[in-house]
């Protein structure tokens, strides 16, 4: 193969010029090759500029036996000799001979040797063989896969090239020597294959040197006569100018490129470590978002195999064990002991002083030695937060919602901003927060306390964000724990059990928690406050830092020093320019807390205990939040995170948006009425007519006197009530709800059902909050009177008042269970009037409810408001469950206990269920939920499903 091998390089364009030498089968060309490819007949890569943000030109001489036109530009940075593994010795010798013949002996100083190999091959033997040659320089040696598609390999190669260029003098090859002895005085411009990576132009084979320079000038938008040119008359002068500009640009490019390359290498290594982490946890097949709630909401071997949760488990089971324990509300899920797979890991090698015959001198030398030779493993155990975040990345949106809800119930911080481990895209799991409701008591003055309860996505609270600049000796997360909950590690920190220095998924994650005061004198703050924590060095995590600074009310920054020559100063300067209140905590400073100017505080942490620092911070934060100047403070609402264009929000999923739109049609309809009248207007079948039917049905079984006449009369009354129920038909609300469930597959309706539950619960939030506060106070008074030895008439009065509050709470509460109750009454009314021969959509209601029950949706068994079990409805639903599942054996488990004794919470913890729980009020009626028994243990348990029944508390008013 013969071709021209000269090129003209404009020095304003090319930062590095690389010449490729060797045989063509040393590499594989194609779209995956980062260094060069064969697109459009060229042999260069259009990816290098995007890859390293530097102009690099690649001249491809691979396969050339001779150069017909012995000319090449001055300014070559390196000759890259590509030799295949296995033939590396012979190809190295022939490559040196070829290079010396055509470019002279001086060119050897600019040579970089690259041994190419197939994926998975090792090249230690090749290095050993090449070292035998006197001309070989090990630091100018590199190995690379033939595909040249690994970013880390290419980045390391370019770093080595940059190092070689900085070491050479002159830094660039001075020019081609004819016959290896004399330098040409002119640079010819033959046909070339050339590429400038700024604009990725292709230089055509018939393009002249002037045309090349002109096109380059146009790209740079600089007049052609100002571009670098070279002619025979001013060759020496221009060479001097070229060298000066080249050295200047080279220094800048070196610094910029080295930083870029090091970043690429670091990112590539980080991604390899993440891949290894997922492999160690056996989650590589679950990423991304492949684990669902159905995989965990069942009873399996891990639930029954051991009576204790403290047993060690294998590392590969950490992820599944974590989510199983978290679903069961075990706060120890983060701290799972790991069983060592190999006994060698725990057995250390005896030291030289372990033998009693050794001298005392050897014994002391062993302790004084700088390093100890032992067989301890280099791989540490998995960081607990890496387990949590790995499971999070592998979970679908519904499992994430369960996970976040359980973390909140365990009083742990929740992931607010999560970078994707492979794409670095920032995501806010807003959907995962939707089920969380926070309740707190606001204290004003000495005695006035107001109870508030809000879905956390809609709550408007101050947000105090903490940032760390650089590597510090004090733990930011541990300090935050002392502010929000000093008895519990809400934020995981370096001193928590199981913590390791190596963590791969936590840096860049921003977590959030809410401090909810209880209205007691020992509350740290008198109102609800959100605390945000950016894990990792905030100097290196700009995107998340900017988002949190925008949303925060108060910023708290921990740094080593506060000096202009410190590397953290640019970031600190940016934060100082913000108008928001700022508290600077300086680790290496021992100064007292001082307000530098309004809203800007500085405090040294050196020689100060964490308790003192925490108390000081609480005073300042409380003072800032109590300030009358409200212009300084910005309130935070979680829902507003979706407004940031730089954040991917999980709720933007098409199915989620479709479900939300359908649910909004229902809630928009409901907002036309007061929440206390919703059931009368939109759910008429379960109102007065249903209560009358239930009362008559009870009287039917308590007949006295003329039994036959009374029985006939009661039956007529019940039939009349059923007729009236049928005549009301389906309301607009029920038509929208049922039509959606019938038209869309059940798996796609999960979002719709969740959104309906979330939005309907939100309708009654305001009214329920004040009633709950009064109910809570009245309930406490009743309990106190019951426990008092002197039960006066006040007890009966207080119980009546409590009953009135209960009725108000009942009328002000509206949720998904009331819609399903209406379905039950529509079915029962039509079935009573038409029997089995009836036709219409109502005939399909039991089958629909059965499929929902099988999928894990709780279903009302006993109407707590009417005190009645809709037997025909329940029987029909269970019949359809049998039709769907076949003749399965079901074990029914129920729970009994006093009101507010935690029955629902216990069932949720035992089986990972989602029975509704709330403060001040227990379950109304009874609900049932099916739990699947896994195949592994069905043989031992002799049944296939567990039907869990949650009941209303005894002595409930």
* pLDDT tens digits for range 518-575: 888 889 998 999 999 999 999 999 999 999 999 999 999 999 988 888 888 889 988 9
pLDDT score recorded for residue 378? 56
Say what the pLDDT of residue 556 is.
96
Rounded to the nearest angstrom, the gap between the alpha carbon of residue 835 and the centroid of all alpha carbons in its chain is: 53
Q: How far is Cα 127 from Cα 131, in angstroms, rounded to an integer?
A: 6
> What whole-number distance in Å separates Cα of residue 854 and Cα of residue 220?
67
Distance CA 403, CA 396 (A): 10
> What does the DSSP 8-state code read for residue 891?
E
**767-813 pLDDT per residue, tens:** 676 777 788 778 878 888 887 777 666 788 888 888 888 777 777 77
Please report how many Cα atoms fall inside a 13 Å half-sphere around the Cα of residue 734, on the Cβ side.
26
What confidence category does residue 37 fall into, taking pLDDT thresholds of 50, 70 and 90?
low
User: Residue 128, class by beta-carbon neighbours within 10 Å (0-12 exposed, 13-18 middle, 19+ buried)?
Assistant: exposed
Burial class (CB in 10 A: 0-12, 13-18, 19+), 83: buried
3 state DSSP class of 310: coil
Across 125-134, 298-307, 344-353, 627-636, the highest mean pLDDT is recorded for 125-134
685 vs 57, more confident: 685
What's the average model confidence in pLDDT over 284-303? 87
Lowest mean pLDDT among 274-283, 372-381, 478-487, 944-953: 372-381
pLDDT in tens, 439-466: 898 887 666 778 888 899 999 999 999 9
Neighbours of 488 (CB within 10 A): 12
Distance CA 726, CA 733 (A): 16
Per DSSP, helices labelled H in 281-359 are 301-304, 318-327
Count of other CB atoms within 10 angstroms of residue 270: 15
Give the closest residue to 814 by CA, choosing from 932, 654, 682, 636: 682
- Strand, coil or helix: 624: helix
Question: How many Å is the maximal CA-CA distance in the chain?
Answer: 132
pLDDT in tens, 210-243: 443 344 344 334 333 333 233 333 444 444 444 4
Gap between the Cα atoms of 621 and 530, Å rounded = 12
Ranges of beta strands (E only) in 331-472 are 338-339, 414-419, 426-428, 437-444, 448-455, 460-468
Judge whether residue 607 has pLDDT over 80. yes
**Residue owning tokens 């406050």:** 529
Q: Among 859, 857, 856, 853, which residue's Cα sits nearest to residue 927?
A: 859
- List the beta strands (DSSP E) in 118-249: 141-145, 177-178, 182-183
Q: Whole-angstrom Cα distance, residue 445 to residue 521? A: 11
Mean pLDDT, all residues of the chain: 80
Residue 102 pLDDT greater than 70, yes or no: yes
Residue 425 reports pLDDT greater than 70: yes
> What pLDDT, on the 0 to 100 scale, is given for residue 233?
39
Contact between 115 and 123 under an 8 Å Cβ cutoff? The reply is yes
pLDDT at 642 over 60: yes
CB atoms within 10 A of CB 418: 25
Q: Express each pLDDT in 662-698 by its tens digit.
A: 999 999 998 878 777 888 888 889 888 888 999 998 8
Place of tokens 């670095």: 424
CA distance 662 to 736: 8
State how far the Cα of 134 lies from the Cα of 667, in Å rounded to an integer.
82
Partners of 451 in beta bridges: 441
């Amino acid at each position: 193969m013969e071709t021209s091998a000269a090129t003209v390089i404009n020095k304003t364009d090319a930062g590095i010029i690389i010449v490729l030498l060797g045989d063509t089968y040393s590499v594989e060309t194609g779209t995956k090759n980062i260094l060069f490819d064969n697109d459009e007949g060229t042999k260069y890569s259009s990816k290098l500029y995007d890859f390293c943000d530097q102009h690099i030109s690649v001249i491809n001489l691979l396969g050339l036996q001779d150069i017909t036109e012995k000319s090449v530009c001055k300014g070559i940075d390196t000759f890259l000799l590509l030799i295949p593994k296995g033939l590396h010795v012979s190809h190295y010798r022939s490559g040196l001979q070829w290079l010396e013949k055509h470019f002279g002996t001086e060119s050897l100083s600019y040579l970089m040797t690259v041994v190419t190999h197939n994926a998975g091959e090792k090249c230690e033997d090749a290095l050993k063989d090449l070292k035998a040659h006197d001309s070989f320089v090990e630091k100018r040696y590199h190995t690379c896969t033939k595909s040249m598609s690994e970013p880390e390999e290419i980045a390391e190669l370019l770093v080595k090239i940059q190092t070689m260029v900085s070491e050479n003098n002159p830094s660039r090859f001075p020019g081609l020597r004819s016959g290896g002895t004399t330098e040409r005085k002119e640079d010819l411009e033959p046909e070339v294959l050339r590429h400038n990576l700024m604009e990725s132009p292709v230089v055509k084979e018939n393009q002249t040197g002037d045309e090349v320079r002109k096109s380059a000038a146009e790209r740079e938008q600089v007049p052609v006569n100002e571009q670098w040119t070279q002619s025979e008359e001013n060759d020496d002068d221009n060479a001097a100018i070229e060298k000066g500009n080249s050295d200047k640009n080279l220094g800048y490019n070196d610094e910029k490129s080295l930083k870029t390359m090091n970043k690429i290498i670091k990112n590539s290594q980080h991604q390899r470590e993440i891949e290894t982490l997922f492999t160690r946890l056996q989650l590589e097949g679950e990423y991304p978002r492949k684990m669902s709630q159905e995989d965990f909401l069942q009873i399996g071997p891990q639930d029954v195999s051991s009576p204790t949760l403290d047993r060690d488990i294998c590392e590969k089971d950490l992820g599944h064990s974590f989510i199983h324990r978290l679903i069961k509300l075990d706060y120890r899920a983060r701290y799972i002991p790991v069983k060592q797979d190999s006994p060698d890991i725990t057995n250390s090698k005896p030291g030289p002083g372990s033998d009693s015959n050794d001298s005392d001198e050897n014994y002391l030398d062993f302790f004084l030695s700088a390093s100890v030779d032992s067989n301890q493993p280099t791989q540490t155990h998995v960081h607990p937060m890496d387990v949590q975040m790995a499971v999070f990345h592998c979970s679908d949106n519904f499992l994430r919602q369960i996970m976040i809800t359980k973390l909140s119930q365990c009083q742990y911080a929740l992931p607010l901003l999560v970078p994707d481990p492979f794409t670095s895209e920032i995501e806010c799991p807003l959907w995962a927060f939707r089920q969380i409701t926070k309740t707190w008591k606001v204290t004003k003055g000495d005695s006035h306390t107001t109870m508030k309860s809000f879905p956390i996505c809609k709550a408007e609270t101050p947000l105090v964000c903490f940032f760390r600049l650089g590597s510090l000796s004090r733990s930011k997360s541990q300090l935050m724990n002392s502010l929000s909950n000093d008895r519990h590690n809400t934020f995981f920190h370096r001193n928590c059990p199981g913590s390791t220095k190596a963590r791969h998924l936590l840096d860049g994650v921003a977590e959030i928690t809410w401090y909810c005061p209880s209205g007691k004198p020992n509350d740290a703050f008198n109102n609800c406050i959100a605390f945000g924590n950016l894990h990792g060095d905030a100097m290196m995590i700009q995107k998340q830092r900017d988002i949190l600074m925008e949303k925060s009310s108060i910023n708290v920054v921990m740094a080593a020093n506060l000096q202009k020559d410190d590397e953290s100063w640019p970031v600190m300067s940016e934060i100082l320019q913000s108008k928001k209140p700022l508290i600077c905590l300086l680790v290496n400073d021992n100064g007292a807390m001082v307000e530098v100017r309004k809203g800007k505080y500085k405090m040294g942490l050196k020689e100060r205990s964490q308790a003192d620092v925490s108390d000081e911070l609480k005073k300042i934060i409380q003072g800032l939040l109590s300030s009358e100047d409200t212009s300084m403070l910005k309130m935070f609402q979680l829902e507003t995170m979706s407004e940031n264009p730089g954040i991917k929000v999980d709720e933007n999923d098409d199915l989620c948006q479709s479900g939300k739109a359908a649910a909004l049609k229902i809630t928009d309809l409901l907002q036309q009425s007061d929440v206390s009248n919703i059931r009368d207007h939109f759910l008429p079948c379960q109102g007065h007519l249903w209560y009358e039917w239930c009362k008559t049905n009870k009287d039917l079984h308590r007949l006295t006197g003329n039994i036959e006449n009374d029985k006939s009369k009661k039956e007529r009354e019940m039939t009349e009530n059923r007729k009236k129920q049928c005549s009301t038909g389906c309301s607009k609300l029920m038509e929208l709800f049922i039509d959606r469930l019938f038209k869309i597959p059940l798996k796609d309706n999960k979002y719709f059902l969740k959104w309906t539950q979330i939005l309907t619960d939100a309708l009654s939030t305001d009214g329920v909050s004040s009633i709950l506060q009064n109910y809570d106070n009245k309930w406490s008074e009743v309990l106190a009177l019951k426990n008092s030895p002197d039960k006066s008439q006040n007890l009966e009065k207080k119980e009546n008042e409590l009953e009135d509050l209960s009725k108000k709470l009942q009328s002000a509460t509206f949720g998904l269970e009331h819609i399903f109750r209406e379905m039950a009454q529509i079915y029962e009314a039509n079935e009573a009037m038409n029997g089995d021969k009836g036709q219409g959509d109502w005939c399909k209601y039991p089958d629909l409810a059965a499929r929902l029950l099988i999928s894990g949706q709780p279903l009302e068994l006993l109407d707590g408001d009417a005190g009645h079990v809709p037997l025909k409805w329940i029987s029909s639903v269970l019949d359809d469950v049998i039709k769907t599942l076949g003749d399965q054996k079901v074990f029914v488990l129920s729970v009994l206990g006093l009101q507010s004794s935690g029955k629902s919470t216990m069932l949720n913890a035992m089986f990972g269920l989602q029975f509704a729980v709330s403060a001040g009020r227990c379950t109304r009626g009874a609900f049932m939920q099916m739990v699947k028994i896994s195949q592994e243990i069905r043989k031992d348990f002799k049944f296939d499903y567990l039907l869990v029944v949650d009941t209303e508390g005894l002595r409930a008013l």
